[in-house]
């Protein structure tokens, strides 16, 4: 199924659908990895590990190299603090920025307002339920609904708060696509090509399955960053995405 998302410039271009998670402790190994990747990918995700080590300057470096950056800092704090964090983190030029939907409607409304006031507004993505969480882990924090019910509840809350992008697992992406419609930007981590290790993830799917179920973009980390040949691993995933479009 081709997903018509307004946020994607060319939905038929597999490079628009793959985000590589740069989960490295500092800029040096990340730069080495990018050399190994050889320009195969257009989108990179910078998460807490790398951002807390290098800050906005490394995001700016990636932008100067021509990459689109998904800055995955998963804000979760009081509304005023999250609004300020969005202003500070946006100065480096990230295109996508995350916050936890569990922070609530007022927090998400403050975040959406803060982003809308910026000259180069990042698109906000609400993280619903982490792909490393299953029913047992949700029960441990007092949520006895299924992951799918909790994802839907949080996604509807985020949408009503003015946020048009969500992070969910491949298990819920079809439900969110049918509920929110074609304009929602649905970003799916927990992607595991056949034969790769699942690691700490719980709710996983192959690249082709996630795209067919309605994902706008896939986030892939270790199946590429830990591969013996990262460029070949990325090319194989791009080919799998292309086969599903
Ligand atoms: O290595 P792997 O492919 O599991 O990496 C997945 C990436 O997606 C990690 O950077 C992780 O922080 C991120 N992520 C996730 N689940 C979410 C949101 C983000 O795994 N719900």
Q: Is the pLDDT of residue 4 over 70?
A: no
pLDDT tens-digit series, residues 91-111: 999 999 999 999 999 999 999
3 within some domain: no
Which CATH number goes with the domain that contains 193? Answer: 3.20.20.70
Residue 177 lies in domain: 14-244
- The alpha carbon torsion through 185, 189, 194, 198 (nearest 10 deg) reads -160
pLDDT tens-digit series, residues 136-191: 999 999 999 999 999 999 999 999 999 999 999 999 999 999 999 999 999 999 99
Q: Calculate the alpha carbon distances from 225 to 16, 125, 206, 234 in Å.
A: 19, 23, 17, 9
112 within some domain: yes
Ligand 1 site, residue 221, Cβ cutoff 6 A? yes
Q: If you average pLDDT over residues 229-243, what whole number do you get?
A: 97
pLDDT at residue number 2: 32
202 within some domain: yes
pTM above 0.85, yes or no: yes
> Is 74 among the residues known to form the active site?
yes
Closest CA to 190 of 207, 203, 177: 203
Provide the pLDDT confidence category of residue 203 given band limits of 50, 70 and 90.
confident
5 within some domain: no
Query: Residue 86, exposed/middle/buried by CB under 10 A (0-12, 13-18, 19+)?
Result: buried
How much distance in Å is there from the Cα of 72 to the middle of ligand 1? 9
157 within some domain: yes
Ligand 1 site, residue 154, Cβ cutoff 6 A? no
185 within some domain: yes
140 within some domain: yes
163 within some domain: yes
- Name the residue with higher pLDDT: 87 or 8: 87
Question: Whose C-alpha lies nearest to ligand 1, atom 20?
Answer: 189
Q: Is the pLDDT of residue 6 over 70?
A: no
* Structural domains of the chain, count: 1
Please report, for the chain, how many H helices and E strands are present, in that order: 11, 8
How much distance in Å is there from the Cα of 150 to the middle of ligand 1? 18
Ligand 1 site, residue 196, Cβ cutoff 6 A? no
């Amino acid at each position: 199924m081709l997903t018509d998302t307004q946020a994607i410039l060319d939905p038929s271009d597999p490079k628009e659908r793959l985000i590589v998670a740069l989960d490295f402790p500092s800029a040096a190994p990340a730069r080495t990895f990018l050399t190994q990747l050889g320009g195969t990918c257009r989108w990179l995700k910078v998460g807490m590990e790398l951002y807390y080590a290098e800050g906005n300057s490394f995001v700016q470096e990636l932008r100067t190299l021509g990459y689109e950056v998904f800055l995955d800092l998963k804000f979760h704090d009081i509304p005023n603090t999250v609004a300020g964090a969005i202003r500070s983190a946006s100065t480096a030029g990230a295109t996508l920025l995350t916050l936890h939907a569990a922070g609530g409607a007022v927090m998400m409304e403050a975040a959406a307002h803060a982003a809308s006031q910026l000259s180069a507004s990042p698109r906000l993505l609400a993280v619903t339920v982490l792909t490393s969480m299953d029913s047992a882990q949700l029960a441990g924090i007092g949520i006895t609904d299924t992951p799918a019910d909790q994802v839907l509840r949080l996604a509807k809350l985020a949408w009503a708060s003015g946020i048009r992008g969500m992070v969910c697992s491949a298990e819920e992406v079809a439900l969110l696509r049918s509920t929110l419609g074609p304009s929602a930007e649905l970003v799916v981590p927990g992607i595991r090509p056949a034969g790769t290790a699942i690691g700490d993830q719980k709710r996983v799917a192959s690249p082709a399955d996630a795209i067919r179920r309605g994902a706008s973009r896939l986030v892939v980390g270790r199946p590429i960053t830990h591969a013996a040949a990262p460029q070949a691993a990325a090319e194989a995933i791009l080919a799998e995405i292309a086969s599903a479009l």
